[in-house]
Structure 1
């Protein structure tokens, strides 16, 4: 409050006090108290002051009488809070047994009972004591029923029982009273059980709640939509699902990739290519480029020229080079296939590139080199190092990235430092 407001308030109080004093001074009142032969006479103001003093003395005496019992209660609260703190720290440090013991003791305080039992159940679950964790949740459900239900669903999902978790959360989901954590568990459990319709239904309330960050929500959304698309039983169901998705969801690269792969497997090659090409025009994605390379149609040469145009803008993308190599193998352009695949190996060695290179040598009739490439591809698929280096096949390779010209918003090339 500003200084002038304080001054105004004090002036008002002083004026009221002055007028009140004059009003009382004119007639202070008279109080007579007679009890068992004793008589007390005083003014009304003195009587009020005496009553206030007596009440204050009574309250003080009551506090003094309660102090020993209050000290015990305060000690109990302080000890419980300390055990709660120690239990949380032990849980984060991985000392789950100590955490469970401290949290069980902290739960003796009524105000901490619900949170302490919930965290204690989490500690028991991390120890592998699933039965004990569920028993603790039964106790916690009396203080925090919704949180206990969500945590129980999480435990069931972790134990490989997503159907039970889904059945536990379904009634609240149908009534719309599920908490954000419950919607997340519902979505994950639905994905695990293959109930993709219910998993998609959980996305909207979870997004509106804002309970999880954009990155976490995007990851969950991609998981749900990708699973839904890959689970489409036929072309009609896939087209229906794809048309129902909002435009922002149809532009997620992982979702476009899933649609392209599923559409191709159902024989809808042209729609798959169209979606991938549209997505690449909006935003470059190495994942989509790799998928595009696996799609086949009768116009392989036209697609090859289109993809070679992308190479001018993304010369150091190993997936793009792998895609070009595969398309050249299908077109039996062995020299160009070697050029692209050798370059891809130099930039980012991988099992898929070695496999495509093996197909190139096999197409040329060099079975010995093809077998060496396939062995490398198999080794890398197992997580083992490649048995042969690229230069052992075709000599030393140029591993330097191609410099990309940078231009300003006016189209003027920028000088490199």
Structure 2
């Protein structure tokens, strides 16, 4: 399509040139120039061509005269651009001292002054030189005031001054004129300083901007919602807050976990269990399975039966086995608890499983074995070697191998294993 447009344009230009030539040839005009006895006669077309050639010649001569004087500025521009590139590469590579030096030199070029100083301030902040970063931002604010303000808030937050960072961005936040980076800094600074309301207010404009990817935004949203839930003063305030949250936010496993634990702390066991069970019916979550086993309440036997019904669909889930083991410990079903916990440890060793297994041995009066389990729980957290259990503690050979689960396609037909 573009080729046809060019052909059409050339045809039009050729037609105009042809008609114009005939028009000029019929009457080329007459120009007379007299100056101090000199007399020049020519046509209008020739006069125009002479003027164009004279203008081109003067332009070339002017540039030739300026070239020696502009050599220094061109070299300065080339070196500044080179230092800007090297400084940015050094910043990404983590050579923050080299980056700060190169970027400060690049800032001497007027066109690179603001961006280079902003990058130099970031390099200084990553080195921990927050004072130098703020000095660079004072200079950068003349060229890029809004970007310098956002970066200044980030430096203050890294320096352990989230309240000052929040106060710096609060006026623009109230006006709704912050950039996406500014809204992110408002959310993080408010979260660090305990201003949960302002942190939640920053989520909506940050989501609309689309500056953060789906995962980083979801992680930030979960952190703010968890902090909001943990800040609830009592059960009534917690339920009011939970009912006001959008449905999408009430389906995040980490948020449900925070609500369930907070509600259980206020004695609201049934609402907590309802939310956890509803979430598990929608989607399987190891985090909520662990929450399900740690919540208190008097209906532990019914919850154990419900959790055992999930075992057929998730026989290789170490967290589910840990949850079953903990429930059995609370019910003093030592044999079942030991079986579940040893299988959980075989699938995925964890400090919680070793601790629960220690409770199992302690409940049976085997203090030495319990101490070994507790030491192993601490050793996993420190990354130390584990202490094997005595063979006499084994009641028969337990099957700790993963169970093969039958896989089916979308039509429900079992798939053959290769």
**Shorter-chain TM-score tier:** over 0.9
Residues 1:414 and 2:415 are matched in the alignment? yes
Q: Distance in 1 between matches of 2:164 and 2:286?
A: 39
Matches within 5 A, 1:224-373: 224-373=224-373
CA 5–182 in structure 1, closer or farther in 2 if over 3 Å, else same? closer
Helix, strand or coil for the counterpart of 1:34?
Answer: strand
Deviation of 1:390 after TM superposition, in Å, equals 7.7
Q: How does 1:399-410 map to 2 (within 5 A)?
A: 399-410=400-411
C-alpha separation in 2, matches of 1:381 and 1:391: 24
- Distance in 1, matches of 2:7 and 2:193, equals 70
Q: Does 1:145 align with 2:145?
A: yes
SS at match of 1:229: helix
Instruction: Note if 1:62 corresponds to 2:54.
Output: no
> When the two structures are aligned, how many residues end up with a matched partner?
417
Relative to structure 1, the CA distance from residue 293 to residue 36 in structure 2 (aligned partners, 3 Å threshold; closer, same or farther) is same
> Aligned in 2, Cα 1:347/1:5: closer, same or farther, shift over 3 Å?
closer
More off after superposition, 364-373 vs 20-29: 364-373
Distance of 1:51 and 1:226 partners within structure 2: 77
TM-score, normalized by length of structure 2? 0.95
1:178 and 2:178 equivalent? yes
| Cα deviation code 1:359-403 (max 9, x no counterpart) | 222222333332332232233344433323485732654331011
Q: 1:3 to 1:387 in 2, by over 3 A?
A: closer
Return the alpha-carbon distance in structure 1 between the equivalents of residues 356 and 39 of structure 2: 115
1:45 corresponds to: 45
Query: Residue 186 of structure 2 contacts residue 199 of structure 2 at CA under 8 Å; is this kept in 1?
Result: yes
Residue 69 of structure 1 deviates from its aligned partner by 2.3
1:367–1:8 Cα change, 3 Å: closer
- For residues 254 and 410 of structure 1, what CA distance do their matches in structure 2 show? 33
Displacement after TM superposition at 1:56 (Å): 1.6
Question: Do residues 164 (structure 1) and 135 (structure 2) align?
Answer: no
Distance in 2 separating the partners of 1:392 and 1:76 = 81
Distance 1:4 1:159, change over 3 A: closer
- d(CA) in 1 for partners of 2:98, 2:392: 58
Distance 2:151 2:339 in 1: 55
**Unmatched runs of 5 consecutive residues or more in structure 1:** none
Partner of 1:130: 130
Contact kept, 8 Å, 1:391 with 1:397, in 2: the verdict is no
- Report the CA distance between 1:251 and its aligned residue: 0.5
Distance 1:10 1:368 in 2: 97
Distance 1:393 1:386 in 2: 16
Q: Is there any run of 5+ residues in structure 2 with no aligned partner, and where?
A: none
- For the 8 Å contact 2:372–2:389, the answer to whether it is kept is no
Alignment of 1:175-214 (within 5 A): 175-214=175-214
Moved more, 389-398 or 353-362: 389-398
Task: Report the Cα offset of residue 167 of structure 1.
Answer: 0.9
For residues 29-40 of structure 1, the aligned pairs below 5 Å read: 29-40=29-40
Which deviates more from structure 2 when the two are superposed, residues 250-259 or residues 400-409? 400-409
Shift of 1:229: 1.0
Measured after TM superposition, the shift of residue 232 of structure 1 is 1.3
Q: Distance in 1 between matches of 2:229 and 2:103?
A: 44
